[in-house]
Homo-oligomer: A and B are copies of this chain.
Amino acid sequence: MSAEGAQPATTQVVILGAGVIGLTVAHVLSKDARYKIKIVARDMPDDLDSQAFASPWAVSAGYRLGRAALTPSPPRAQGANWSPMGEYNARIYKWEKTTFDKLWDMIPAGLAITSPSRVFYDAGADLDALWYKTLVRDFRILGKDELPDGTHAGVGFQTVSVWPQAYLPWLKSELDARGVEFVRKRVATLGEAAALAGPNGVLINATGLGARSLIGLEDKDVYPIRGQTIVISNPNVREFMCTELTSAEDGNATYVIPRPAPGGWTTILGGKYQKNNWDTSFSAADAQGILDRCAALAPAIKDPETRILRHNVGLRPARRGGPRVEAEKLDLPLKNEWLVEELPEEKGTVLVVHAYGFGPAGYQMSWGAAEEVGSLVDSHVNPNKA
């Protein structure tokens, strides 16, 4: 579009949401200087450890607009490692394989660690046919002596983990260095977000649970999966372990995720997996169940030296039908029936690329999904990109 040697034309890209998906999409797109990128969100990754950052830990009393995923995923409660979730799906396999390898490559820089892992299954499961056998490293079927009491079968492998409180700030620092702009703003409607991108602009919709409430989108397939976790410190708990995450009709999911952290490891014990449950209050009964189930896998948790540091309750931003990564073109100005807005009257088209609904798997799909978003943007905006 530009003459040889001249400044290339730039495209305004607005990313709505500063969670791990929004930040990773920004990382992928910002490699191309033709994209002028602005991340617009209610809360910012810099806020994560700030006293001023209320969202991840405080739930407001009284009235509020449900705008869950304009906020970054709060880090203290997250693994965040690659864990096996669900059945084989070609698209998701690709996203997760891409992400696993990308995080694995970050190990030398200290941004990620490798972690020995054991995952347990019902007796009779066809472990040799597990879909993620080629995704993880050093996959093997466990011998009987490696099975904790009460488990019947299992596999071992090496997975990769990041510590979100270091990882998200690293992502943010990369984006800062590339000139990505961060704008703190509460956006109520898809039309308002599209207007920020403007005619011929690109809007990335990385709003997570907020996609349900974003007026003009109102994706009612988006729903929460309630989680509760416990953060402990115990230097003897160093292995990732979980049971198969099945349909979880009892709302239980059992996982032990050690995480590297400055000043010593901490370990996430989980958890609950309650679909369509919005309850963000602490449940002592849930905490007791988590401790008992995790200690059955990792008996060291019952050691007197275990210190419980924190309890977390939160909502995973899931979607019926799976994550939505999809492009559509919308005409500006984009009105809606629910709010009177003073939008710019300028006409034009915005490319909207949706990237939400990753449920429990935002971190482990992030790089693969972000690359697909990048390809969708390129194919519309710079179709002849080398």
Contacts and interface: CB of A to CB of B under 8 A. Distances in A.
A58 interface: yes
A336 to B, nearest CB: 10
Given A54-B53, A55-B59, A279 B66 contact: yes
Contacts of A186: 51, 57-58
A55 B56 contact: no
Which of A64, A74, A229, A316 is packed against the most chain B CB atoms within 10 Å?
A: A64
Contacts of A61: 19, 68-69, 71-74, 208-210, 314-315, 317
Interface stretch (A99-107, A135-143, A304-312, A324-332): A304-312
B64 A218 contact: no
Contacts of A209: 59, 61, 281
A65 B213 contact: no
A311 B277 CA distance: 22
A314 B62 contact: yes
User: How often does this chain occur in the complex, in copies?
Assistant: 2
Interface string A213-250: 10100100000000101000000000000000000000
Interface string A290-326: 0000000000000000011111111111000000000
Given A51-B184, A278-B280, A57 B78 contact: no
A185 B51 contact: yes
